[in-house]
Amino acid sequence: MTPHAAIRERYLRDKPEIRLGGLASNLARIKSFSSHPDHQDEVAQLLEESAFFIEWTAGDVPDDDKPILVDLQRLLVRWRRSWHLIWPNHNRRDEVAQEAGLWSQRILRLAGLLSD
């Protein structure tokens, strides 16, 4: 079993709202870890894992919520592809961190785990 398969198997045991909570937690960690220059690899892994979380959850959310997850997944992929350029640029890295934090809150609301 591949590492992703094991993570997927464990992840899919939870209800979709709990899975979305895990995605929101990853996004919050991206925000937090981005403030430390030694966490480049950890953040890159969180970006990749978060994209998988969306892939594994999107089929189980209401149709109205799917475009939100698609938008987030596209953003995560863009960040991941240009991470080698984003990370050394402190201003750009800070922008990504702030945006990840906003997305974390948005996903928590989507999951019904955070009230407005």
- In whole angstroms, give the CA distance from residue 104 to residue 115: 13
Structural domains in the chain (count): 1
Cβ atoms 50, 76 nearer than 8 A? yes
**The pLDDT of residue 116:** 61
Return left, alpha or beta for 112; rule: phi > 0 is left, psi -120 to 50 is alpha, else beta: left
DSSP class of residue 38? G
Tell me the chain's radius of gyration from C-alpha atoms. Answer: 14
From residue 54, give the alpha-carbon distance in Å to each of 33, 81, 88, 105. Answer: 20, 17, 27, 15
From first CA to last CA, the distance across the chain in angstroms is 41
**The pLDDT of residue 114:** 77
Which segments in the chain show pLDDT lower than 50?
none
**The pLDDT of residue 109:** 95
- In whole angstroms, give the CA distance from residue 70 to residue 61: 12
Cβ atoms 35, 1 nearer than 8 A? no
The domain of 54 spans 3-111
CATH number, domain at 31?
1.20.120
**The pLDDT of residue 1:** 65
Whether 36 is in a domain gets the answer yes
Whether 116 is in a domain gets the answer no
